């Protein structure tokens, strides 16, 4: 016999020496045959770490789209995306196909959180020839079992969902759609492989005239094990089966399961880890006894991990070790050991009994004697040691696999520590047994960052399958309700085309001299007649009032470069809301201070004034304030020319260096600043606190200004689009609620669907509706969510980051006092996505009207144009800009639109407007 050698020093687990008796030396030249065998069957902790690492690699390979096909550990998606939460209710039926029988089960859930309600079940023996007969006969038999089980009930018309436990390898594409890949376990029915077994069962059931029975879920046995141990408070997210074979499943973050389309939430993955090692990954721990067991099996070369762990094999591993020892005369001297050559003469059940400490020795003796052997006391002791070693190894390997799962979960959720419940089922996992003890200890050693709570599963395939079915039903109902709620926010292409057409109509009305007053889009002339051409030069002052900060800037425009220096000044609330005189005095003070600091004292620099409040402009340097917004309410300003107000203040301060040449809206500033870098930039767009746009219109179309030549930039004030009721069909109940609570109800209706000030609020109202319907934050009061503006628009940006772990979403919600589980996080993300997508699409519909009008104006088949954009929502949201561009391309296919984010649009832009104006005046 080849002596199995193993290097390595530390053994596991330290508290329970494996097979080795105290005092027995484990290595060195004086090693006895028994010691060598025990050593070969003992895997040092370092090697177990390696097994764990390889298992993780194999699992990642199974999850990866590219490598999945070659992976040994298949990591099959189960399409089960939730664990029970206690609200499941109704009758569920389960059918389980097993080796020699069919089991049916009926369970009634009351939605009261009781996970162990009454159930009735029945087991039907299956005629042996069915396993090799036609598929039709097999499924007909199963359906007949259902019919018989239901008895009188089968005439009821009440819908009865059925869960089908089908423990064969399937390519599942939905919870209720699974193609059989190949039969195993002695089955080989014709015409089933490659077919959807759910459909086959449903057809057979229909043939029995049981139309109320609907097959809603197909599942593997591991999933049920996980489900039976799950409650709302303590969801169980991993299951382990250690029975004849071994397998496991766990709730994976779905973005790591690349083999499915779903991108958010979690899904139970059936690892099929029994095949781990089929590519040689376990070769260095296999012993000659394992090789013999494999050769004798019906499937040599495959399921290598299972053959080290499953109870179907442990007895035979022990048997081969004993054969080797007998051959070395270390056992059964004087006995005829030929009986040990027969597969299966030593069962795993016997191995378990021999290990037990009380009657183990007696059991060893009677078992060996029953085989016709004549064991000495020492033989019995050694056999017991071998049995222990084989079982301990199985438990340790299982622990390595489990540790791999736990590490994957911990990593993918970005957690430092993971607290998790693990369900275990199978004959090896006995309450006081050695397998259990070693599994727990070694998993703890291999996954020290995890706090594991092991739970013994009962009747995973029956009760668990019923739970899976009930959960599936709950999810279907919930999905229907969520879809109903969100449907009004999901716009079709036709909806968007209509918005585009309406915007176009309002634009035309706004431009017309007679119709202007009735338009919701004001279309204000800006007196900006040209975009920069790159020849602008000089030094300019700029003011920026009405954005997030008040700033004074000096902008030096030279050939090919612009330099800016600026200073932020505070406008105290008492000045914002005091007299107009005090406000403009303060502004002049700030300008004077700035000039001094910048060594510009005494210089007369042309000044561009970005004044982001609605104004009726009468000239480039003449702008009558229509109304204050954003917290300003200084008296005696509305109806006056703001340039005049500024100049009067300068006079009061004896400040003679002020020369205002232009008043600029922030959209115009944005267009101009981008226009300096890209001459095609003829549109400005803002999506920040509010939203607005401007663009270059033909003078001949601008009915509100004299003159037919050239173009003029029009400040659309499109935020007010819809204020005349033309968008009423789009507003949802949530939009109405948001609008009612604003300082300007009924106004800026388009803006309130799109911009940063409102998106968070819309989301908050939808979440409240979901809470109301008990779909979210069930059983929990969420007083925080009642607070206005608690849900910031910046949360949408974070929550929607592609691939952001749900635990991060959870953290955001927890900061708000919302204790969300992962499904709830997933749902919150969906709400955010729906709201921000609608915003981007509506913005695109508005822009589509603009670019199409420009294209028509110019009589072009194709228009290439650039949009200068500013605003934190546009710049920071992870998908807004992409959705905006995609939708625009779709709605205006004849326009090639480039988006250019602006840098300091209000500062640089104002200076450029001034520069263009100065150039115009000089030329
Ligand atoms: P303004 O429009 O007043 O000039 P901004 O363009 O900076 O100012 O926009 C500010 C608005 O942007 C805030 O009201 C807020 O709603 C929104 N916002 C802030 N941070 C983010 C973010 N990370 N993602 C999306 N929106 C944001
Ligand atoms: Mg701004």
- What spacing in Å lies between the alpha carbon of 721 and ligand 2's midpoint? 20
Query: Within 10 A of 323 (CB to CB), how many other CB atoms are there?
Result: 19
- What spacing in Å lies between the alpha carbon of 468 and ligand 1's midpoint? 44
Q: Which of 196, 666, 723, 904 is catalytic?
A: 666
| Nearest protein CA to atom 14 of ligand 1, as residue | 689
Contacts of 53 (CB under 8 A, 6+ apart): 404
Nearest to 462 by CA among 227, 154, 272, 271: 227
| Nearest protein CA to atom 13 of ligand 1, as residue | 689
- What spacing in Å lies between the alpha carbon of 421 and ligand 1's midpoint? 42
Q: What does the pLDDT look like over 9-43, one tens digit per residue? A: 444 443 333 444 434 444 545 689 999 999 999 99
**Overall residue count recorded for the chain in this entry:** 923
Ranges of the chain with pLDDT below 70: 1-30, 115, 154, 232, 547, 779-780, 920-923
Spatial contact of 260 and 270, defined as CB atoms under 8 Å apart:
no
Q: E-assigned strands of 101-228?
A: 101-110, 119-125, 160-165, 169-174, 177-182, 213-219
Q: What does the pLDDT look like over 561-575, one tens digit per residue? A: 889 999 999 999 899
Please indicate whether residue 495 is annotated as part of the active site.
no
Task: Give the helix/strand (H/E) hosting 611.
Answer: strand 605-611
Angle between helices 880-891 and 493-511 (to 10 degrees): 80
Q: Which of 546, 789, 793, 812 gets mutated to test ligand 1 (max ligand atoms within 8 A of its CB)?
A: 793
DSSP labels, 862-874 = SEEEEEEEE-HHH
User: Which pLDDT score, from 0 to 100, does residue 628 have?
Assistant: 86
Among the atoms of ligand 1, which is closest to the Cα of residue 797?
A: 24
Token reading at 510: 């706004």
Plot region of 113 (φ>0 → left; ψ -120 to 50 → alpha; else → beta): left
Q: How far apart are CA 757 and CA 75, in angstroms?
A: 44
Q: E-assigned strands of 405-537?
A: 418-425, 450-456, 524-525
Whole-angstrom CA distances from 815 to 760, 789, 812, 824 are: 15, 14, 5, 15
User: Which pLDDT score, from 0 to 100, does residue 450 have?
Assistant: 95
Q: How far apart are CA 691 and CA 750, in angstroms?
A: 8
Q: Which of 551, 688, 748 gets mutated to test ligand 1 (max ligand atoms within 8 A of its CB)?
A: 688
Q: What does the pLDDT look like over 665-697, one tens digit per residue? A: 999 999 999 998 899 999 999 999 999 999 999
- What spacing in Å lies between the alpha carbon of 452 and ligand 2's midpoint? 51
Q: Which of 612, 836, 881, 906 is catalytic?
A: 612
Token reading at 462: 């029956």
| Nearest protein CA to atom 15 of ligand 1, as residue | 756
Nearest to 369 by CA among 350, 388, 386: 350
Q: Give the angle subtended at the CA of 502 by the CAs of 496 and 505, to the nearest 5°.
A: 145
Give the number of whichever ligand sits closest to the CA of residue 799. 1
Bridge partner list, 177? 174
Q: Which of 612, 687, 689 gets mutated to test ligand 1 (max ligand atoms within 8 A of its CB)?
A: 689
Nearest to 324 by CA among 25, 40, 42, 43: 40
Local structure of 634: helix, strand or coil? coil
User: Which pLDDT score, from 0 to 100, does residue 386 have?
Assistant: 96
Q: Which of 36, 382, 551, 749 is catalytic?
A: 551
User: Which pLDDT score, from 0 to 100, does residue 116 have?
Assistant: 72
Among the atoms of ligand 1, which is closest to the Cα of residue 880?
A: 25
**Spatial strand order in the sheet of 605-611:** 561-569, 550-558, 538-545, 605-611, 658-664
Query: Could you identify the residue written with the tokens 């290990």?
Result: 355
Among the atoms of ligand 1, which is closest to the Cα of residue 906?
A: 4
- What spacing in Å lies between the alpha carbon of 651 and ligand 2's midpoint? 30
Here the contacts of 552-560 (C-beta below 8 Å, separation 24 or greater) are 552/590, 552/591, 552/594, 553/907, 553/910, 553/911, 554/594, 554/598, 554/600, 554/605, 555/907, 555/908, 555/910, 555/911, 555/912, 557/911, 557/912, 557/915, 559/534, 560/534
- What spacing in Å lies between the alpha carbon of 81 and ligand 2's midpoint? 42
DSSP labels, 641-690 = BHHHHHHHHHHHTT---EEEEEEE-HHHHHHHHHHHH-TTEEEEEEESSS
Pocket of ligand 1 (CB under 6 A): 547-548, 688-689, 756-757, 793-794, 797, 871-873, 876-877
Within 329-414, where are the H helices?
Answer: 348-355, 360-370, 377-412
Q: What does the pLDDT look like over 63-95, one tens digit per residue? A: 999 999 999 999 999 988 888 877 888 889 999
Bridge partner list, 641? 624
User: Which pLDDT score, from 0 to 100, does residue 15 have?
Assistant: 37
Nearest to 659 by CA among 482, 917, 839: 917
State the first-to-last Cα distance of the chain, in angstroms, to the nearest integer: 104
Please indicate whether residue 666 is annotated as part of the active site.
yes
Nearest to 812 by CA among 832, 837, 835, 786: 832
Token reading at 318: 């022990």
User: Which pLDDT score, from 0 to 100, does residue 536 have?
Assistant: 84
Please indicate whether residue 169 is annotated as part of the active site.
no
């Amino acid at each position: 016999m080849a002596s199995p050698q193993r290097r390595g020093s530390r053994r596991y687990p330290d508290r329970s020496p494996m097979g080795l008796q105290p005092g027995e030396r484990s290595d060195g030249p004086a090693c006895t045959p028994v010691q060598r065998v025990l050593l070969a069957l003992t895997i040092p902790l370092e090697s177990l770490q390696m097994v764990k690492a390889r298992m993780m690699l194999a699992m990642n390979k199974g999850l990866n789209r590219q490598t999945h096909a070659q992976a040994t550990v298949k990591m099959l998606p189960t399409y089960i995306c939730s664990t029970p939460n206690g609200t499941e209710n109704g009758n569920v039926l389960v059918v389980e196909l097993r080796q020699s029988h069919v089991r049916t089960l009926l369970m009634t859930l009351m939605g009261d959180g009781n996970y162990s309600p009454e159930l009735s079940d029945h087991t039907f023996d299956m005629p042996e020839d069915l396993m090799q007969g036609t598929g039709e006969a097999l499924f007909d038999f199963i359906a007949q079992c259902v019919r018989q089980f239901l008895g009188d009930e089968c005439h009821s018309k009440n819908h009865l969902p059925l869960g089908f436990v089908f423990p064969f390898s399937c390519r599942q594409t939905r919870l209720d759609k699974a193609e059989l890949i190949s039969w195993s376990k002695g089955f080989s029915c014709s015409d089933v492989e490659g077919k959807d077994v759910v459909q086959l069962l449903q057809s057979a059931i229909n043939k029995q005239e049981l139309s109320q029975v609907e097959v809603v879920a197909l599942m593997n046995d591991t999933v049920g094990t996980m489900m039976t141990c799950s409650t709302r408070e303590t969801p169980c997210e991993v299951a382990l089966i250690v029975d004849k074979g071994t397998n496991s499943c766990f709730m994976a973050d779905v973005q790591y399961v690349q083999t499915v389309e779903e991108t958010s939430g979690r899904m139970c993955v059936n690892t099929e880890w029994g095949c781990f090692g089929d590519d040689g990954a376990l070769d260095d721990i296999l012993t000659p006894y394992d090789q013999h067991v494999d050769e004798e099996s019906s499937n040599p070369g495959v399921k290598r991990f299972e053959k080290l762990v499953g109870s179907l094999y442990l007895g035979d591993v022990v048997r081969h070790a004993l054969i080797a020892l007998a051959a070395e005369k270390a056992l059964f001297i004087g006995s005829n050991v030929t009986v040990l050559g027969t597969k299966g003469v030593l069962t795993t059940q016997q191995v378990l009994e021999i290990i037990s400490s009380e009657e183990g020795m007696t059991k060893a003796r009677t078992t060996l004697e029953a085989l016709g052997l004549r064991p000495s006391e020492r033989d019995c002791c050694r056999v017991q040691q071998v049995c222990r070693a084989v079982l301990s190894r199985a438990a340790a390997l299982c622990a390595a696999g489990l540790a791999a799962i736990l590490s994957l979960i911990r990593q993918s959720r970005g957690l430092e520590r993971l607290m998790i419940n693990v369900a275990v089922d199978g004959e090896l996992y006995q309450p006081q047994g050695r397998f259990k003890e070693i599994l727990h200890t070694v998993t703890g050693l291999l996954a020290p960052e995890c706090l594991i709570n092991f739970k013994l599963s009962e009747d995973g395939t029956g009760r668990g399958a019923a739970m899976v079915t009930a959960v599936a039903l709950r999810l279907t109902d919930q999905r229907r309700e969520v879809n109903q709620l969100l449907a009004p926010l999901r716009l079709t292409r036709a909806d968007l085309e209509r918005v585009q057409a309406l915007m176009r109509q309002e634009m035309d009305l706004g431009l017309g001299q007679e119709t202007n007053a009735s338009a919701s889009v004001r279309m204000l002339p800006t007196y900006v007649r040209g975009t920069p051409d790159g020849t602008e030069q000089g030094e300019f002052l700029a003011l920026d009032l009405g954005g997030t900060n008040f700033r004074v800037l000096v902008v030096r425009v030279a050939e090919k470069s612009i330099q800016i220096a600026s200073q932020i000044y505070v406008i105290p609330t008492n000045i914002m809301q005091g007299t107009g005189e005090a406000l403009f005095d303060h502004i002049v003070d700030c300008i004077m201070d700035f000039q001094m600091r910048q060594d510009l004292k005494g210089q007369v620099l042309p000044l561009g004034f970005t004044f982001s409040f609605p104004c009726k402009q009468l000239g480039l340097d003449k702008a009558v304030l229509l109304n204050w917004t954003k917290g300003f309410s200084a008296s005696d300003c509305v109806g006056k020319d703001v340039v005049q107000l500024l100049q009067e203040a300068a006079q009061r301060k004896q400040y003679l260096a002020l020369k205002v040449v232009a008043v600029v809206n922030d959209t115009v500033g944005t267009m101009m600043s981008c226009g300096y870098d890209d001459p095609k930039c003829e549109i400005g767009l803002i999506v920040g606190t509010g939203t607005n746009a401007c663009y270059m219109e033909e003078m001949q179309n601008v009915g509100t200004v004299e003159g037919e030549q050239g173009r003029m930039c029009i400040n659309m004030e499109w935020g007010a689009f819809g204020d005349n009721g033309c968008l009423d069909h789009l507003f949802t109940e949530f939009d109405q609620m948001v609008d009612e609570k604003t300082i300007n109800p009924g106004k800026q209706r388009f803006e309130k669907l799109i911009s940063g000030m409102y998106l968070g609020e819309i989301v908050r109202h939808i979440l409240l509706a979901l809470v109301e319907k008990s779909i979210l934050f069930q059983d929990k009061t969420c007083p925080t969510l009642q607070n206005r503006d608690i849900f910031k628009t910046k949360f949408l940006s974070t929550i929607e980051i592609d691939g952001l772990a749900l635990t991060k979403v959870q953290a955001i919600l927890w900061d708000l006092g919302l204790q969300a589980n992962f499904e709830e996080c997933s749902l919150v993300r969906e709400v955010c996505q729906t709201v921000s997508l609608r915003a981007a699409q509506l913005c695109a519909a508005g822009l589509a009207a603009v670019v199409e009008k420009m294209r028509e104006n110019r009589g072009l088949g194709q228009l290439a144009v650039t949009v200068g954009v500013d605003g934190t929502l546009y710049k920071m949201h992870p998908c807004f800009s992409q959705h905006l561009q995609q939708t625009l391309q779709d709605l205006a296919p004849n326009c090639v639109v480039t988006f250019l984010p602006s840098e300091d649009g209000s500062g640089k832009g104002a200076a450029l407007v001034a520069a263009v104006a100065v150039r115009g005046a000089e030329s």
